[in-house]
């Protein structure tokens, strides 16, 4: 009986399924040269894919975070379209609702590769609809995923390890010395006192009541700040964990609007003080440095959104005048820090 497929295997198999040209065109569109915002575990495998053009090796051996990042880029557009099609059922659709939405995507021009990327991404991120996505991949022939190639064991693993006889003898002598030392230092048990018979009858012992363990609520994780951030901000500030609207400066000049240097957008406050706030920007487009911002619908956003890994320090003349969209609960906060 075959073992059940894990979510990680679905992600890797999906990248193998998607047209190789699509994968390479997507990675070629990324600027990965010395981008400090992209963690090495994601950036280095993607750069290697740009250079070596080996999709199979990338899908099967790259760190899962890098493979997920690639899949997220491919799934962004079809995911946004299927969320719009599901409407109020987007968070927890039934199988039939999701199946109809997928059929609508294909009818409107989406390719099977688009759908595979969408379904596998939802499985990898463990969306509530992940079981339905698994079922669609298993039941629809056009979405069937290839099996992962078997990894050939290296010769070093097959050959027995050679140990020098002298080293083996030294190890054996150390083990014997350790045994003798333990025997010599073992405490001597005192003699057991004689048991005295007693005519006193002991009544029935009442069974111990099982103690119920209280259900622990998830504790809010403490965000780690750099020494420079600690000098300016406090992670205990009441604004920490609040999503606000702020003007965030651009990292580079936008060629379509060279005179515009910043834009008002939502952001998560990581820490704050009387002099300003430390935030992570929230954007409508995905990238390797961003992850899905799952509370987007609850906070009233009208589209899928992604939160960036990088932090930006902003001066705030009046923290009380910030436009607040709402706080994250503990589980949402813990998933992001």
Please check whether residues 15 and 117 belong to one and the same domain. Answer: yes
Burial of 48 (0-12, 13-18, 19+ CB in 10 A): middle
Q: How many C-beta atoms surround the C-beta of residue 10 within 10 A?
A: 22
Out of 143, 160, 192, a domain closes at 143
Number of H helices, E strands in the chain: 12, 7
Angle between helices 64-86 and 20-28 (to 10 degrees): 100
CB 67 within 8 A of CB 15: yes
Q: Please check whether residue 148 lies inside any domain of the structure.
A: no
Q: Are residues 11 and 137 in the same domain?
A: yes
Integer Cα distance of 336 and 223 in angstroms: 10
Q: 40-74, pLDDT tens digit by residue?
A: 788 888 989 999 999 999 999 999 988 999 999 99
* Radius of gyration of the chain, Cα coordinates, nearest whole angstrom: 29
Q: Is residue 123 part of a domain?
A: yes
Residue 181, pLDDT score: 75
Per the structure block, which two tokens stand in for 105? 């995507």
* Structural domain count of the chain: 2
User: Which span out of 154-168, 214-228, 248-262, 309-323 was modeled with the highest average pLDDT?
Assistant: 309-323
In a domain, 216, yes or no: no
SS3 242: strand
Domain-embedded: residue 155? no
Residue 219 lies in a domain: no
Render pLDDT for 114-143 as a digit per residue (tens, 0 to 9): 999 999 999 998 899 999 999 999 999 999
Q: How many residues does the chain have?
A: 337
Residue 153 has what pLDDT?
40
Is 138 contained in some domain? yes
Arithmetic mean of pLDDT over the chain: 81
Residues 16, 126: one domain? yes
Average pLDDT over residues 270-299: 89
Neighbours of 195 (CB within 10 A): 6
Percentage of the chain surpassing pLDDT 90? 39
**Which pLDDT score is estimated for 317?**
64
Domain hosting residue 104, numbered range? 7-143
Helix, strand, coil % in the chain, rounded to nearest 5 = 45, 15, 45
**Cα–Cα dist 252/241, whole Å:** 27
More confident residue, 10 or 164: 10
The CB-based long-range contact list for 74-78 (8 Å cut-off, 24+ gap) reads: 74/18, 74/22, 74/23, 74/26, 74/113, 74/114, 74/117, 74/121, 75/114, 75/117, 75/118, 75/120, 75/121, 75/122, 76/285, 76/286, 76/304, 77/114, 78/105, 78/110, 78/114, 78/115, 78/117, 78/118
- Environment class of residue 152 by beta-carbon count within 10 Å: exposed (0-12), middle (13-18) or buried (19+)? exposed
Which of 143, 162, 197 delimits the end of a domain? 143
The answer to whether 280 touches 310, Cβ cutoff 8 Å, is yes
Q: How confident is the model at residue 194 (pLDDT cuts 50, 70, 90)?
A: very low
Query: How far apart are the C-alpha atoms of 183 and 179, rounded to whole Å?
Result: 6
Task: Give the end of a domain, one of 102, 122, 143.
Answer: 143
């Amino acid at each position: 009986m075959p073992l059940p497929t894990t979510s990680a295997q679905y992600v890797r198999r999906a990248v193998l399924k998607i047209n190789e040209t699509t994968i390479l065109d997507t990675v070629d569109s990324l600027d990965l040269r010395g981008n400090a915002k992209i963690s090495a575990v994601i950036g280095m495998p993607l750069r290697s894919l740009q250079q070596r053009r080996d999709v199979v090796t990338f899908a099967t051996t790259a760190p899962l975070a890098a493979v997920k990042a690639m899949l997220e880029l491919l799934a962004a557009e079809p995911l946004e379209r299927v969320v719009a099609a599901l409407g109020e059922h987007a968070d927890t659709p039934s199988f039939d609702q999701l199946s109809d939405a997928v059929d609508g995507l294909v009818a409107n021009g989406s390719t099977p590769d688009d759908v595979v990327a969408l379904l596998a991404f939802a499985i990898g991120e463990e969306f509530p609809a992940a079981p339905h996505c698994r079922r669609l991949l298993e039941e629809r022939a056009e979405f069937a995923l290839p099996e992962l190639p078997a990894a050939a064991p290296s010769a070093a693993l097959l050959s027995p390890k050679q140990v020098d006889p002298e080293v083996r003898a030294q190890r054996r002598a150390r083990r014997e010395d350790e045994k003798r030392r333990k025997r010599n230092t073992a405490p001597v048990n005192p003699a057991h006192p004689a048991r005295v018979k007693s005519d006193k009858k002991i009544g029935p012992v009442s069974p111990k009541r099982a103690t119920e363990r209280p259900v622990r609520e998830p504790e809010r994780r403490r965000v780690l700040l750099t020494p420079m951030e600690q000098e300016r901000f406090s992670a205990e500030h009441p604004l920490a964990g609040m999503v606000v609207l702020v003007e965030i400066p651009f990292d580079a000049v936008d060629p379509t609007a060279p005179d515009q240097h910043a834009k008002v957008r939502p952001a998560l406050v990581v820490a704050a003080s009387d002099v300003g706030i430390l935030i992570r920007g929230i954007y409508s487009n995905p990238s390797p440095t961003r992850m899905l911002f799952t509370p987007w619908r609850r906070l009233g956003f009208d589209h899928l959104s992604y939160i960036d890994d990088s932090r930006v320090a902003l001066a705030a003349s009046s923290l009380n005048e910030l436009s607040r969209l709402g706080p994250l609960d503990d589980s949402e906060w813990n998933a992001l820090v």
